[in-house]
Structure 1
Amino acid sequence: MLAECVLLACVAFFGLPVPAVAAPPASDEFTTSGGPLRIFFIGHGSLRFEYDGKEIYVDPFGQVGDYGTMPPADLVLLTHEHGDHLDPESIAKIAGPETAIVLTGPCLEKLGRGTVMENGQQTTAAGIPVAAVPAYNIKHMRSPGTPFHPKGRGNGYVLTFGDLRVYVAGDTENIPEMANLKNIDIAFLPMNLPYTMTPEMAADAAQMFKPKVLYPYHYGETDPARLVTLLKDSGIDVRVRELR
């Protein structure tokens, strides 16, 4: 703090330009039976959860956050192997030898370390219960018959923080398996076209499992206000944050 005051005094005295300081990611805080859960919205598909003295990261991506300034990770979750979700350089900045990494088989092939979870499997990593759920395309295709995200290759994750359940969908569409999700308090659903969902598809997905709070994320150029309008009478609290 003293060094900061001295710097500002020098800036004022000598008429120097004020140095740019990167603002920390915005965050929301939730109450759980195990203490507060703080969610940091790093950007794109990248999230950070702070809970019970632990730091949990999802899909670290260096183009949307400076991971060299962030706390060391206790747990890193990777949804799939695409470069904007699996960024080895960013992972190296937060993950040490003791960091738990949960990922898919294709992610393991690229990263070379971690514990693979298949769709439907459950585990506890860094003290956090984690369930891997399907994430895939039905409609949007890279070429005829070749979806952007094939079934069985990627994961969404349901994380349990005390009595609070958080669903991070990964890159997916409104797939039938979402109807099996139960007691979801907070959900993150993607809307980056053409790779995942339109607002209408995301609204349909949300209606399947009725989260209490819904964040559209990884939404690219898609207007998240459209999702707010579609769900305005649903009882779902749709919160828009800067998660392009």
Structure 2
Amino acid sequence: MRITHFGHACVLLETGTARLLLDPGVWSHGFEDLRDLDAVLITHLHGDHLDPDRLGPLLAANPDAELITDPGSAAEVVQYGLHARALRPGDDIEVAGAAITAVGGAHAEIHPEVVVPPNLGYVVDHGAFYHPGDSLHVPEQRIDVLGLPTGAPWLKVSEAVEFFRAVAPRVALPIHDLTLSRAGIDSALHRFDTLAPEGAKVVVLPLADTQEL
């Protein structure tokens, strides 16, 4: 699988049969010129995962791409003239030969007084890649490459490390880091490296860089 990181939570997956873009939000850049997409997947409606102002033109430039979201995002994009296929936890679909399973369903708690939207994680090709969105849901599938949240208002480094260990992927790809300073990112990456589960490695992708993972 080829993976490109467009900053924060946004990644492009090229499975060999499908081109899937996940969570193109307001803090991510470089995805706007992508073509030949088969689907755009949104984990939840927060702006750092869903930028409707750029999503509309992106879908117009990729007329064959299906917009796949959680129920909350599906309701949100309607006001922008977009139609989404809303999934729920446990749903299994296929897009251009790629298997996608929706998991989780709940956004991590930010604060007891802060209302959070639904959040789906997406397991692609039976565990080849897992994007949890804003959650620490551990899926039942064995995961090869994990999109590992690095920093967020709902996250402590210790929680991220325990999530990393619980999922125990072959590779952890740090994502969701733009709530942190450079020093904070480096500190979290150091903890991921030193506290990784046995056999796992952390691979940091520079902005818009593509690697075969």
The answer to whether the superposition gives a TM-score over 0.5 is yes
175, 197, 200: which is aligned to 1:217?
175
- Scaled by the length of structure 1, what TM-score is found? 0.71
If you compute each CA radius of gyration, which structure gives the higher value, 1 or 2? 1
Residue in structure 2 matched with residue 127 of structure 1 by the alignment:
97
> Are residue 189 (structure 1) and residue 148 (structure 2) matched?
yes
Aligned residues: 193
Structure-2 separation of matches of 1:190 and 1:56: 19
Residues 164, 204 of structure 1: alpha-carbon distance in 2 compared, 3 angstrom cutoff: closer
Residue in structure 2 matched with residue 169 of structure 1 by the alignment:
132
> Are residue 203 (structure 1) and residue 161 (structure 2) matched?
yes
SS of structure 1 residue aligned to 2:75: helix
Read off the aligned partner of 1:156 and give its amino acid letter: G
Residue in structure 2 matched with residue 27 of structure 1 by the alignment:
none
Contact residue 174 and residue 204 of structure 2 kept, 8 A: yes
Unaligned runs of 5+ in 2: 208-213
Contact residue 6 and residue 31 of structure 2 kept, 8 A: no
Residue in structure 2 matched with residue 100 of structure 1 by the alignment:
66
Residue in structure 1 matched with residue 211 of structure 2 by the alignment:
none
SS of structure 1 residue aligned to 2:108: coil
Residues 119, 72 of structure 1: alpha-carbon distance in 2 compared, 3 angstrom cutoff: same
Structure-1 separation of matches of 2:162 and 2:100: 24
> Are residue 39 (structure 1) and residue 16 (structure 2) matched?
no
Identical aligned residues as a percent: 26
Read off the aligned partner of 1:87 and give its amino acid letter: D
SS of structure 1 residue aligned to 2:6: strand
Q: Which has the higher contact order (CA 8 A, sep 6+)?
A: 2
Read off the aligned partner of 2:43 and give its amino acid letter: T
CA drift at 1:145: 4.5
CA drift at 1:200: 1.4
Read off the aligned partner of 1:136 and give its amino acid letter: H
Structure-1 separation of matches of 2:69 and 2:166: 26
Structure-1 separation of matches of 2:156 and 2:206: 18
Residue in structure 2 matched with residue 31 of structure 1 by the alignment:
none
Unaligned runs of 5+ in 1: 1-36
